[in-house]
Copies of this chain bind each other. A is one copy, B any other.
């Protein structure tokens, strides 16, 4: 078992240790040899710590303790997280860096948590090269809360906002905004079942639009902006929930970038808003205090108790993305995974099909169907048996969807592609 390999949990003598033990962790500060003398046959266990102090940045080993029991999770969000991030969080869960408490127990105004949230912001600023004239806010409520907060903060009721609607999320943003401003859908991909992004020069923008809203990556439909329209008036606002930190972005092109954390950068329960500072401070009177950007900006996201543990997890992910080499490197990996999967679909000669126009296919969410749609249930079921889960498409579109966010390893996509080929061979 686990002979050789880079595992941090090596068991000698080919002796199985109990499954639930192998799933969990042995934390030691240095590689050591433990001899386990239970009632059964003794085993020898070598442990490598997963605590950050011990890991050498340069030769960082990927802790894969228990990997053999992990699944490849293609869920659209909450989604798979980097293994080394989970292992760090696990190691520190009960007692964070000798503070005597869990991150979940820390006062949000104590020095420990302040160091966590400040480092998270600073690392995110470095990752996305966020200019100093932008604020970073860590909020709650998901992108759906922002659908209201944006017009409440950026418009008066008579102002007009332009929307380019390339999928369900963009459509939801319009519906919510109608409560607080005038909305103008300058383009909608609905008639084409949300498979396209328009050419920008054909957009009939309002002359007096306060801003233009797009959803940079439509999680359900798998449509991603590869470039961005330039508003004639006002500024650009983008929901980046499902491609946040998946590639470099020129933040200066946007007035606001926002997104839920639960796809690429953390667990659910954290919403990140990056906003140009001059846009803050004009909320409508009816704005709930918790939706007012000014309140959160003035209080450095600590007006009330923030989702501390979630922010901590995002911070660990940002650290990991920087260690990987930053977003250019992350994009390269994402491109490689996406190419592999889309190529497999193309090479199937129609057995698998992706409805999305090639030039705007998402690197994050890959929807596909089977020519023989009656086989889709079997495909999903058989894949799950092979430990590839959550491949069912969104209930509104059917078919399959593989979400291959930052933390999906190349090995997961390779396994899926191999499975697709086998499945086709069996059913062609």
Contacts and interface: CB of A to CB of B under 8 A. Distances in A.
Nearest to A313: B104
A24 B93 CA distance: 9
A105 B313 CA distance: 12
A270 B141 CA distance: 10
A78 B108 contact: yes
B69 A95 contact: yes
A299 to B, nearest CB: 11
Interface string A29-62: 1101111111100000000010101000000000
B269 A307 contact: yes
Nearest to A268: B305
A222 interface: no
Interface string A219-254: 000000000000000000000000000000000000
Interface in A294-333: 303-310, 313
A2 interface: no
Contacts of A142: 140, 290, 304-305
Interface stretch (A143-151, A335-343, A420-428): A143-151
Nearest to A271: B140
B75 A105 contact: yes
B305 A307 contact: no
A101 B89 contact: no
A28 B21 contact: yes
A307 B307 contact: yes
A81 B304 CA distance: 20
A156 interface: no
A277 to B, nearest CB: 23
A26 B2 CA distance: 20
A75 B355 CA distance: 53
A400 to B, nearest CB: 14
Given A23-B98, A148-B288, A179-B286, A268 B108 contact: yes
Contact of A148 (B49, B107, B285, B289): B289
Contact of A309 (B94, B149, B268): B268
Nearest to A140: B140
Contacts of A180: 286
A144 to B, nearest CB: 4
A45 to B, nearest CB: 8
A231 to B, nearest CB: 24
B306 A268 contact: yes
Given A75-B106, A268-B307, A290-B148, A69 B86 contact: no
A89 B93 contact: yes
A25 interface: yes
B35 A35 contact: yes
A349 interface: no
Given A65-B94, A268-B108, A100 B290 contact: no
Nearest to A310: B269
A205 interface: no
A305 B77 contact: yes
A95 B70 contact: yes
A119 interface: no
6 contacts: A18-B30, A25-B27, A32-B37, A86-B94, A176-B289, A260-B305
Interface of A: 18-21, 23-30, 32-39, 49, 51, 53, 65-66, 69-71, 73, 75-81, 83, 86-87, 89-91, 93-95, 98-102, 104-108, 110, 140-145, 147-149, 152, 176, 179-180, 260, 262, 266-270, 285-286, 288-291, 303-310, 313, 387, 389-390
Nearest 8 CB-CB pairs, A to B?
Answer: A269-B307, A71-B100, A148-B288, A24-B27, A104-B267, A75-B107, A140-B140, A90-B93
